[in-house]
């Protein structure tokens, strides 16, 4: 039960605070959703702190994205893998508190100034920023494909299927899960 509550790492108070504060700061940068901050999450929890391996991080994101529910669930899975329920609470509170407060405040403010030229220009300018952040996320999540040729073949085949057919994305996801479960990659 102790591992489930506090996680396998047994982080100290300073580490819990660092985890919470880092996700709190990332929350304010999550223009386009929490997924756009995944590269920095990966840099922090894998590269800088070593709390997760690259494979654990990628698996956390993939598992959460395959599950039904909001896109932000991957933050909870990352937190849980770092520190059990306490890690999940730290990452989710850090992610949700500032962005929710800011979104409510900005929505109320923006509704009163809906016709402002500056506000419309600002909103239009967020699109390229979001696209850039999503491309950075894709680059980080493609790490296994850059190091394993078989994974690269699956990624290219999936991309081709999505661009050339009307097949559901669940079919290539199921194929990838089957290949992984069979230990072929």
Same domain, residue pair 107 and 55? yes
Instruction: Please report the sign of the dihedral spanned by the C-alpha atoms of residue 40, residue 36, residue 19, residue 59.
Output: negative
pTM score over 0.75: no
Q: Are residues 110 and 178 in the same domain?
A: no
Q: Are residues 128 and 160 in the same domain?
A: no
Domain tally for the chain? Answer: 2
Q: Which residue range is the domain that position 166 belongs to?
A: 143-185
Verify that 128 and 45 share a domain, yes or no: yes
pLDDT, residue 20, reads 95
* 124 and 156, same domain (yes or no): no
What are residue 70's phi and psi, to 5 degrees? -70, 155
Residues 160 and 120 occupy one common structural domain: no
Whether residue 54 is found in the same domain as residue 97: yes
Q: Are residues 135 and 155 in the same domain?
A: no
- pLDDT tens sequence across 120-164: 888 888 888 888 888 888 888 788 777 888 878 888 888 888 889
What kind and span of H or E run contains 157? helix 149-164
Segment 35-45, tens digit of pLDDT: 889 999 999 99
Residues 72, 51 share a domain: yes
More confident position, 7 or 167: 167
CB 102 within 8 A of CB 39: no
Average pLDDT, the chain: 85
For residue 171, pLDDT over 50 is answered with yes
**Pair of tokens at residue 146:** 């850059």
Query: Nearest-CA neighbor of 90 among 36, 157, 12?
Result: 12
Both 110 and 175 in one domain: the answer is no
> Which of these three, 141, 158, 173, is where a domain ends?
141
Asked whether residue 134 falls in the same domain as residue 57, the answer is yes
Q: In terms of domains, do 79 and 147 share one?
A: no
């Amino acid at each position: 039960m102790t591992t489930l509550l506090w996680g396998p790492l047994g982080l100290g108070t300073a580490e819990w605070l660092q985890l919470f504060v880092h996700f709190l700061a990332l929350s304010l940068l999550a223009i386009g959703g929490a997924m756009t901050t995944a590269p920095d999450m990966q840099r922090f929890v894998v590269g800088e702190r070593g709390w997760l391996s690259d494979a654990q991080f990628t698996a956390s994101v993939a598992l959460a994205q395959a599950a039904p529910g909001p896109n932000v669930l991957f933050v909870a899975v990352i937190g849980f893998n770092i520190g059990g329920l306490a890690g999940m609470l730290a990452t989710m509170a850090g992610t949700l508190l500032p962005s929710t407060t800011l979104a409510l405040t900005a929505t109320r403010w923006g509704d009163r100034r809906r016709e402002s030229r500056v506000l419309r220009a600002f909103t239009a300018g967020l699109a390229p920023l979001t696209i850039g952040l999503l491309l950075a996320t894709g680059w980080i999540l493609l790490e296994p494909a850059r190091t394993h040729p078989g994974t690269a073949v699956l990624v290219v085949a999936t991309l081709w299927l999505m661009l050339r057919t009307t097949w559901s994305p669940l079919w290539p996801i199921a194929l990838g899960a089957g290949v992984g479960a069979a230990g072929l990659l």
